[in-house]
Amino acid sequence: MNHSDKSDDENAKRLTADIAELQTALAQLERIVAGRLEDEASNAELQEELAIMQDDRSRLALDLDAALARQNALEKSRDEALRRLEAASEGVAAALGAAVAAPVREG
């Protein structure tokens, strides 16, 4: 083997080593890119879930406001009904009192 053959062999070995190193680097880069894409997809899913939860929260807040308004209206109606029942009760008691106090007529 002459000097040129040895140099060609060394160059071929270096080239093979460099190619292997490049392939290793490319494989690592592919793993990193795949991981980033997965993270971005996961992030997009989380953003979508957050948007859905915010919409749900807004809807629930509106439902709560409506329920509180209905409760207030029912409480006012209840208070009015109680007031009217008390007035009617007083009227019945007064009528009964007047009937008892009135002389009994014999006919």
What radius of gyration, in Å, describes the C-alpha atoms of the chain? 46
Measure CA 61 to chain center. Answer: 11
Mean pLDDT for the chain overall: 91
Measuring CA to CA, which residue among 57, 80, 77, 81 is closest to residue 69?
77
pLDDT digits (tens, 9 = 90+) for 79-90: 999 999 999 999
Indicate the burial class of 46 (C-beta count within 10 angstroms; 0-12, 13-18, 19 or more).
exposed
Residue 59: closest CA among 70, 51, 71, 48: 51
Q: Would you place residue 107 in the very low, low, confident or very high pLDDT band (cuts 50, 70, 90)?
A: low
pLDDT digits (tens, 9 = 90+) for 36-81: 999 998 999 999 999 999 999 999 999 999 999 999 999 999 999 9
